[in-house]
Amino acid sequence: MGSTSGGKTPAGVGRRDLIKRSAALGLISVPTMGFLSACASSGGGGEEKAKAGKKTAKNPLGVNDTAQMEFVLFDGGFGKEYAQDAVKIYEKAFPGAKVKFSATQKIQSTLQPRFNQGTPPDLIDNSGAEQMDMGVLVGKNQLADLTPLLDAPSYDDPNKKVRDTLRPGIVEMGQFDGDPVWIMYYAYTVYGVWYSRKALGSLDEQYPETWDEMLKVCAKAKKKGIAGWTYAGKYPYYIPFSLYPMIGKVGGREVLDAIDNLEPNAWKNPAVKACFEAYFELYRKGYVLQGTPGLDHIQSQTAWAKGKALFIPNGSWVENESANVIPADFDLAVNAPSGLDGSDKMPFGTIWASGGEPFVVPAKARNAAGGMEQLRIMLSEASSKNFTDKVKSLTALNGGTTGLSLTPGLESGVAALEKAGSNVLNPRLQDWYVQLQKEKIGVSGLGEMMAGRLTPAEAIKKIQGFADEAAKDTSIKHYKHQ
Amino acid sequence: MQHGKYRFIVGFLAAPLGLYAIFVVWPFIQSIYYSFTDWTGLSPDFQMVGFDNYTRMFHDDIFWKSLWHSLLFALLLPLVTISLALFFSFMINVGGRRRRGGPAISGVRGSSFYKIVYFFPQVLSIAIVALLFAFAYNPDSGAINSLLRGIGLDGVQPLWLGDPNLALWCVMAVLVWSTVGFFVVLFSAGMASIPADLYEAALLDGAGRAKTFFRITLPLLWDTVQSGWVYMGILALGAESFAVVQIMTTGPGGPDYSTTVMVLYVYQKAFRDGQAAYATTIGVALLIVTLLFAAVVMRLGRRERLEF
């Protein structure tokens, strides 16, 4: 190519041609880019909201009986049948309304674009591995306040508000800061130590109430070639299901509250140290099933169901999830965590129980009243019983199990709740600070300690460091117990 | 006749270039733009925050860990995979002993069978491979530890993916296993085009296997090796490392972040933590690392072309 410009040399391209070319390119691409950038986020203002219907005794939320209601359900361990049954009741109550129901495992990938465009559905079960971050949704004003639902009369008894029919802690769990209730947790999960009554019976042992007894039972099991404990080694954030309530039992509720509030030195409380050391003792004495740190939740549950280990920290979904590996005569049971000794602040029976399956109504939903009405239907006694019957789990509705034939695990869960009475704990780290709880405290702290790679003192120091970091991190929203 | 030629060319180029700009260049620009905002990915409103995300990234220990792991992936994986593949394909194509009545240059006995065996993992989806190995690595009942027990090594029962010192190597081994076959086939094709006379001449001169490989095969195969290196490096930085780490080590990327890689961290920030803007920031860093990697390999590997 010649160095002179403008001249049309036979082989090359001159400067002017280059300019012309780029101009042509620009002409085409600029408008297209503008068009595309409008798509990627900040979509249109959304469709218009449905007009409110008339409020009556039968329709206390004022649902527009001709407006469409869209309901997206997480299709997980509980399946979708229970929700479809509830949708049928909605359709019966509002024959003129169309219900668009869909179930997916990919909540976030399905719904994230719709939130971005401002056209979310009216009711969402925001659950599963692809759960959308609640803190972010609330922080960005994407959720509707469910207070109207809670103050509406319940489906079964017009003289009772929905709020008064729920289990303890459900309403508080749906709040973040202040009064609005953003989330309605539909399922009710009992966390604790799960075991086979039969296996324990064959050792001539009762469920241990203190840690000395626990060590004794484990020693006895070890002699027979059975490990005392196993846990989801790749997801060590299952350990807190029994460890946190133990900390609460030993040191009192305030210790857990301080941890949730990310207070400085919250983890340095003596109760935390004592409980960490108790768990570390399990590792040190060889009471943890060999290879546990390399197992995932299914593998560890299977080893446990096969009788290789006595105890596993888990939630009440384990009965449904492990149904195909639990032998028929297993006699599954859950118990509140063992304490240290008689000087514990809370009695034996103190347990962690809290809501699961978070349902939300988006702030930009077209038919928010419809979404809430659907929830009101699901919280009726009939729908709740249907759920418990189908998926072996309790619902947020207090009671509602009379007349049902309960499976062993569910039955022991109900018994454990009865025994706990008001001593129900509800640590919030796992819904307030997901990454802190799962990765940092769970995997890098507790997981490393239980694998024997950290001492309890080192683990506490590391975890306190993570908590302090999270407290300072301005990119996450911070919450406090009220 | 030159008149009208450029208009003609521009007319043809505009459409593909436009498409390229829209679907390749524009997303890059867009994500760089988002890295300067506080976009959550869950709501349409966001604000410009300047370099906040970048400052945060430079102080983020997990980012540095993931960067280090990604670099290990990009450097070690191609080295191991390509060396192995070169060795295998040399043995398959050239390294055989001379057999009576056969051609002067041939592979080891059964080489066509080996070729198929090596290529076999390539037909499996990486997700399946990762799952299979996740089971094999299971310390309680997995194939590897059962084998160790079977041959009497009861005391040696590593935790594999549960051990922060081993997890990363376990994951890398799987990637080597699953990609080496592709390169064996690629290099075999390359070797097939090297004239046999060169080998025969070397044989006459009394060159052994090693000498033949380093003096003839490798120099003549250099271009193929180089593109293979870039290709493998980009795979290791991107899709494949994500798949194995996400599937095999689950959770946050191994015990104590021992296998976290950049792509996984991008995914977690965008789709778990609701921090899409920060995720794009890490994505930009990944883009820079990838470009640098390609540039360095191309530059280091530059040498004169050999004509034959």
Identify the structural domains of chain A with CATH numbers, from first to last: 69-189+354-414 (3.40.190.10), 190-353+425-472 (3.40.190.10)
More confident residue, A254 or B99: A254
B149-163 pLDDT, tens digit per residue, is 888 887 778 888 888
Task: State residue B163's pLDDT score.
Answer: 87
Task: Give the percent of chain B with pLDDT over 70.
Answer: 94
Could you tell me the CATH superfamily of domain B60-300? MetI-like (1.10.3720.10)
Could you write out the DSSP letters of every residue in B79-95?
HHHHHHHHHHHHHHHTB
Residues of chain B in contact with residue A435, where contact means CB-CB under 8 angstroms, are 252, 272-273
Diameter over CA atoms, chain B: 83
Give chain A positions within 8 Å (CB) of B13: 21
Contact B256 A443 (CB under 8 A): yes
Q: List the alpha helices (DSSP H) in A310-455.
A: 318-321, 368-378, 381-391, 408-420, 429-432, 434-435, 448-450
Which residues from chain B sit within 8 angstroms of residue A447, using beta carbons? 255-256
Is B40 an 8 Å CB contact of chain A?
Answer: yes
Chain B contact set for A130 (CB, 8 A): 271
Choose between A36 and B107: higher pLDDT: B107
Q: What percent of chain B stands above pLDDT 90?
A: 27
Tell me if chain A has a CB within 8 Å of the CB of B54. Answer: no
Confirm or reject contact between B6 and chain A (CB < 8 A): yes
Residue A355: name the closest of A166, A212, A198 by CA: A166
Considering only CB atoms, which chain B residues are within 8 Å of A475?
A: 56, 275, 278
B154 at the A interface (CB within 8 A)? no
Count Cα atoms within 13 angstroms, Cβ side, for A261: 14
CA angle B90, B96, B100 (to 5 degrees): 150
pLDDT of the residue at A11:
44
Nearest to A294 among B160, B257, B274 (CB): B160
Q: If you average pLDDT over residues B289-300, what whole number do you get?
A: 86
Min Cα separation A22/chain B (Å) = 9
DSSP H/E element including B280: helix B276-300
Dmax of chain A from CA atoms?
101
A289 interaction partners in chain B (CB closer than 8 Å) = 140
The CA radius of gyration of chain B, in Å to the nearest whole number, is 24
Number of Cβ pairs closer than 8 Å across A and B?
159
User: How is chain B split into domains, by residue range?
Assistant: 60-300
Tokens of B225: 């090796």
Q: Sort out which chain B residues have CB atoms less than 8 A from A135's CB and list them.
A: 274
Whether A25 sits inside 8 A of B160 (CB atoms) is no
Shortest Cα distance from A346 to chain B (angstroms)? 33
Q: What is the pLDDT of residue B5?
A: 81
In chain B, which residues have their Cβ closer than 8 Å to the Cβ of A437?
A: none
Q: Which pair of structure tokens corresponds to residue A276?
A: 């960490």
The span from the CA of A158 to the CA of A342, in Å, is: 46
Nearest CA in chain B to A111: B42
Q: How far is A183 from chain B (nearest CA, A)?
A: 16
Contact B255 A448 (CB under 8 A): yes
Cβ proximity of A229 and A282 under 8 Å: yes
Q: Give B256 to chain A, closest Cα distance, Å.
A: 4
The pLDDT profile of chain A, 482 residues, written as one tens digit per residue, is 334 444 444 444 555 555 555 555 444 444 444 444 444 444 444 457 888 888 888 889 999 989 999 999 998 878 899 999 999 999 999 999 999 999 998 898 899 889 988 899 999 999 887 788 888 888 888 999 999 999 999 999 999 999 999 998 899 899 887 889 999 999 999 999 999 999 999 999 999 999 999 999 999 999 999 999 999 998 899 999 999 999 999 999 999 999 999 999 999 999 999 999 999 999 999 999 998 998 888 899 999 999 999 999 999 888 888 889 999 999 999 999 999 999 999 999 999 999 989 999 999 999 999 999 999 999 999 999 999 988 888 999 988 788 888 899 999 999 999 999 889 999 999 888 888 998 899 999 999 999 999 999 999 999 999 999 999 988 788 888 87
Interface test with B, best of A13, A20, A22, A41 (most B CBs within 10 A): A41
